[in-house]
Each structure stands twice: as structure tokens, then as C-alpha cells.
Structure 1
Amino acid sequence: MDVNKILKSNKPLALESKTIIHLMLVHQSISEKTTEALKPFDVSIQQFNVLRILKGQNGKAANLSTLNERMVSKMSNTTRLVDKLILKDFVKRTVCEENRRKIEIFITKKGKEELLKMSNTMLAMEKELLKDVNTEDLITLNKLLDKLNTDK
């Protein structure tokens, strides 16, 4: 990916600026491909993330706070995401019997089945995206990205 060519700029960019712009362009491309892969399932990237978190609970209830903490995108309106997944019968929401103020959220059987299909589609998309990158490169890339992690 030639950043200057994409930006239609003849002016050389500072290496730091070029790197950040490059990361942003890659992020945008990955987001677009992910959205496209999930389109047949009529779920957003954030809804997919909620389903994965709930499946990872292994049958234990989650609450909105748990989902918020574990979301990849912290900007999501988790209540709205759960509401949309309930309408699709992918998740259910119940009131805790011990504490009536506590809401418990579970993935449904249909949600698990659809998540499996989505996960297979996502895996194929990831393999296609990374087909030209070897394992050693991926390890190096992850180490470099760890250095950039702003949430340290």
C-alpha cells in the first residue's frame, strides 16, 4: 500500500505521519472487509463481538458491564446491541432471581449456531487477508503493535 499514492500527494510525509496514516488505512480496509463478511448474517462487527463474548462465558450469565469491559470497540452502545440481538433470537435477557436489579444476558442455541457460521466466514476472510504474510511476519507484526498499544 503506497500511502502517498492513496493520498494523491507528491509531498513526502514524515515517517511518523506516514506510519499512522498507513495504520488508519489498514484499519479501514479490515473494517470494510469484516463488515462485508458479516453482511449475510445481518450483524455488525460489534454484534459479532457481543456474541463471541457471550459464547466465551460458557453458559454463565453476562451483564452489560461485563460486555462493555470486554468489547473491542469501547464506543458501542451495548444495550442497543443486545436489544438487536434479542430481536434476532441470538441472545436472551433475564432478570436475576437473587437480585432483581441485575440483568443477565445469555447466548441462545440459535445464536451459537449462527455464531459458528459467522466464525467460519470470518476465519476464511482472515486467511485471505493474511495470505501473503508468513507466521514469522505475523509474530513480528504483533510485537510491533504491542509497542504501539496506547492502553498500556
Structure 2
Amino acid sequence: MSNIEKLISIKTFTSEHHKGLISLIFVGNWIISKHQQFFRQYDITMQQFNILRILRGQHPKAASINTLKERMLDKMSDVSRLVERLRKAGLVERKSSEMDRRAVDVMITPKGLELLKVIDNEIECLEDTLKDSLNEKEVVQLNRLLDKMLDSY
């Protein structure tokens, strides 16, 4: 009996593809849960962290809401709402775009940059999820297989 069969108490899968899909979903949810738990201590969500990292990459330039939407890992996120929460926490600033008054530019604040520095010192524990299970060669193979799946995205 495989690990996934034990973990979800299922006896058989309709195919290896079915088993692989269920395993990916299970592992994905497990990793998301670990991330949510980690970011809770900083009073931010995974999506807010993603926005802060995008903005740090743009720094000192601003990013538009559309740029943030395009670069987000979670494409279902309501970026405007996330940015507003980050603004209220003092982690980002919003201002009307100088190029297009209807658009909004977002910049990370010094407080946001400082929070990312703190998180950077601790975030390695999330990578341990892979390091504890897979060696370097296996991670390279995993990345290759995931890239292959993303070809059809």
C-alpha cells in the first residue's frame, strides 16, 4: 500500500494517472497549509507575501495592479483587496499613476522591506519540506516533470 493510499484511506485508484493527480493535490494542499501556518506568525497571508516579493523585485519603481495580477502565483487572488490590507498595515503605498490617472501604482514601504528581511532569515524551513524528502537529483527531476506539466498550461 502506498503512502497516499494510507493517508486518505483509499484502496484502489482507477489508474496511475488518477493516483498521481490525487497525490499532487494532497501534497499541494499540505504545502499550502505549511505556508499558511508559517506566514500567520507575521500576520500576512501567502498571497500578501507574494505581492511584497514582487514589489521588492520592482523596488524602487512602483508596480501597477495589473503587473501584480500577472505575476501572482495564485491567479484567483483579488489583488486590489490584498494591496489594501497591506496598505493598512503600512507595508505598501498606493498612489494614482502619473501615466494613467485611472490606474494605481503600488510601492513597497521601508516597513515592508524590513518585514521581508525578517522572513528571508526564517523561510528556509519551508524549503525543508522538499529537502527532507528529496535529494538534489530528485528535485531536479521533479522540477523537470512539473515544467513538462506546465507546458500545457
TM exceeding 0.5:
yes
Give the TM-score taking structure 2 as reference length.
Answer: 0.91
Partner of 1:67: 68
Match of 1:44, as an amino acid? T
CA distance in 2, matches of 1:121, 1:31: 17
Partner of 1:125: 126
RMSD: 1.6
**1:45 counterpart = 2:46:** yes
Match of 1:115, as an amino acid? L
**Where do 5+ consecutive residues of structure 2 fail to align?**
none
Give deviations 1:45-68, integer Å, cap 9, x for gaps: 100000000001021110100000
Partner of 1:35: 36
Partner of 2:106: 105
RCO higher in 1 or 2 (8 Å CA, sep ≥ 6)?
A: 1
Match of 1:29, as an amino acid? W
CA distance in 1, matches of 2:101, 2:109: 21
CA distance in 1, matches of 2:13, 2:60: 54
Mark the CA change 1:150 to 1:6 in structure 2 (over 3 Å): closer, same or farther: farther
Partner of 1:57: 58
CA distance in 1, matches of 2:129, 2:26: 18
CA distance in 2, matches of 1:68, 1:98: 19
8 Å CA contact 1:34, 1:122 repeated in 2: no
Q: CA deviation at 1:5?
A: 1.4
CA distance in 2, matches of 1:67, 1:49: 9
Partner of 1:91: 92
CA distance in 2, matches of 1:38, 1:4: 30
CA distance in 1, matches of 2:71, 2:88: 22
User: Helix, strand or coil: the match of 1:38?
Assistant: helix
8 Å CA contact 1:94, 1:105 repeated in 2: yes
Give deviations 1:57-112, integer Å, cap 9, x for gaps: 02111010000000001000000000000011000001233432231100000000
Partner of 2:142: 141
Number of aligned pairs? 152
User: Helix, strand or coil: the match of 1:132?
Assistant: coil
Match of 1:27, as an amino acid? G
**Where do 5+ consecutive residues of structure 1 fail to align?**
none
CA distance in 2, matches of 1:6, 1:106: 43
